[in-house]
Each structure stands twice: as C-alpha cells, then as structure tokens.
Amino acid sequence: MVSDRLVSRSTLTGAGFRDLAPHLAAEHLGELRVIDVREPGEFTGPLGRVPGAELVPLGTLEEAARTWNRDRAVLVVCRSGGRSGRAATILRTLGFRNVFNLTGGMLAWDAHGLPRDRVAA
C-alpha cells in the first residue's frame, strides 16, 4: 500500500501517473517496486541503476506487467524520464493504480548523488 505521504509529495500528471523527484523516490524505495525500462546495456552501464531495480525494457513491459499485482506501487525509471513516462502511461492503461515516474530519470538520480547499484568492473 502506498503511503499518503508519498502521494502528497508527488505530482499528478494529466496521464494519471505521478512524477516523483529523485530524492523523494530514494526516501520511499521501501514502498515501491522499481522497474527500469532502459535496455540491458544501459542498466549495466555507467549510470548504474536504482538499488533493487528490476530490468524490464520498454518494449517488453506490457507483456511482463500482465501478471503483476496492480495494487502495488510502481516506480518506473529510465535515463532521462521520457521512456519511463511512456511506461507509466502503459501501466495506467493496464489498470495499475499507483504509478510513479522518476522525474529526470537516472541522470537526475546521479546529479543528486543518490546511491546506485553498479556491475563490478
């Protein structure tokens, strides 16, 4: 269940999902299923990924999401926020109620100096 505090700290978009700033997303990771919609090379690339993120490339999202719990809050992530915005719209269309888009994507996460997982070199 998503907390009222998380909802109140996000911004509702016209598409029905919520934009969430990186520092707020980091504070609420325990409430969110984090789905990274970049390609595999980006997921393992220099920007790293949000801790605990699951890789589901945008092109495979609709099929993968068909079996997910639609009541669980989902944070979608990409490089800059564009693909994740499209992903959030897809999830809302599929009936997900609590969908959040990471504002500015991994570029913004990186700019805020937030912790990230990386593949060991």
Residues designated as active site: 78
Q: To the nearest 10°, the Cα dihedral for 51, 58, 69, 3? A: 50
Select from 118, 73, 80 the least CA-distant residue to 99: 73
Q: To the nearest 10°, the Cα dihedral for 64, 38, 101, 51? A: 90
8-state DSSP, 84: H
